[in-house]
Amino acid sequence: MANNLVDNIIPQQPPIEPQSDVHVLKARLEWGEPAFTILDVRDRDTYNEGHIMGAMSMPTDDLVNRATSSLDKSRDIYIYGANEDESGQAVQSLRSAGFEHVSQLKGGLAAWKAIGGPTEGIVEALTPPGPGDYNVVSRMQEHTETQKKQV
């Protein structure tokens, strides 16, 4: 009985799209939704300079092997690379390897930064964090203000 109650309270996440807008991913992060992974398929040095906070580095040349050994095939996976071609090829590689819920993050890191998504890395560390980077309440207020601006 308790399980049914929980199922009704927590809405099921709709399947992810083949391509996702950065706003969709940011909303999932801000609500603390579990069970998804962000993969950065650029080379390791570029990843170290700066990437989406929480993204895992899996360069394209070793992507399928590493993903297969460390990620569930039914997990939601968002991928971005140096450009749309690189991320598109990475998405296709994972789908061919049997991963069911893989989405290309449109615009990659640049689009993520444009909407104020949190980043980390050597270059990113030189940029002081915003008020919402550490505090959930501030993040929610910031999110609300951002939503108002876009209307």
Per-residue pLDDT reduced to its tens digit, 71-127: 999 999 999 999 999 999 999 999 999 999 999 999 999 999 999 999 999 887 665
Alpha carbon distances (Å) from 11 to 6, 20, 73: 9, 20, 22
Alpha carbon distances (Å) from 27 to 20, 51, 82, 96: 12, 18, 23, 28
Query: Which H helix or E strand runs over 103?
Result: strand 101-105
| Averaged pLDDT, 2-31 | 74
| Averaged pLDDT, 55-69 | 96
SS3 134: coil
pLDDT of residue 110: 95
Is pTM beyond 0.85? Reply is: no
pLDDT of residue 1: 47
CA distance between the termini of the chain:
42
How are the residues of the chain apportioned to helix, strand and coil, as percentages rounded to the nearest 5? 50, 15, 35
pLDDT of residue 37: 95
